[in-house]
Amino acid sequence: MIITDCQQYILDCLREIPYIRDRHLLWLLRLKYGLSIKQGERSLRQLAYLDKIDRHVDSGGFSSLPGQRRDPALLAAADVMAEVCGENLPEFLRGERPCTLSFYLRDTRGYLDFKVVPVPLGEEQHVVEQLYRRYQGFKCTWLFLPESREQIESLRTENPACFVFKNESGGYDFLRRQ
C-alpha cells in the first residue's frame, strides 16, 4: 500500500516524538492538512494496520513507533508545545540534553525558537550549566518545566524564560520572570 503525504507526516512526527497523544497528532494534522478528527483517526488506523505504528487506545489514546515506551518528559513537552502554539503549526524536533523538545513558529521576522527543558529537583545549577555550554550565544525562549516553584530563583539565564507548571485541571500555568 502507498503511504500518503499525511501518513508520512505522521511518521515524521513520531520520529521526533516516538510516543505521543493522539490528540496532538490530530491537532497537527488539522493544522497542516485541514483534516477532521475522523479523517486523522482513519490515517492512524491505516498506519497501524500496516504495522508502521502502534496504537494504545486502551491507555488513553496514544500512538507510537513500534516498540517505543512512554516518556513522561517528552509527553509533557508536547503538551506545552500544543499550549504555546494554539492554532499555529510548529516545526519541531527532539531536543538535545537538557532540552527534551525544540519547536519553532514562523513570525514576520523569521522563526521564534522555543526549547522545553525539564528541571529535576536539585538539578537546577547543572541544567543551567548544560544550557550555557550547549547553547551559548543562541537566541531562544526557554520553557522550563520545574518540579517546584521554589526552583525558579535558581534558574537564571540570559535568554527569555518561562516557567511551566501543570495545574489541577490538567492544563498548564505559565509564569514569566519579571
Residues constituting the chain: 178
C-alpha cell at 122: 536539585
Residue 118: band (very low, low, confident or very high) from pLDDT cuts 50, 70, 90: very high
159 pLDDT higher than 90: no
**Residue located via cell numbers 524564560:** 161
pLDDT tens-digit readout, 75-116: 999 999 999 999 999 999 998 889 999 999 998 888 899 999
For the question of whether the overall pTM of this predicted structure is more than 0.85, the answer is yes
Residue 2: band (very low, low, confident or very high) from pLDDT cuts 50, 70, 90: confident
Annotate 70-123 with DSSP letters as a single string.
--HHHHHHHHHHHHHHTTSPPEEEEPPTT-SEEEEEEETTEEEEEEEEEE-TT-
Q: What confidence score (pLDDT) does residue 59 get?
A: 72
Give the residue, 108 or 67, on which the prediction is more confident: 67
Q: Phi and psi dihedrals of 95, rounded to 5?
A: -80, 170
pLDDT tens-digit readout, 84-94: 999 999 999 99
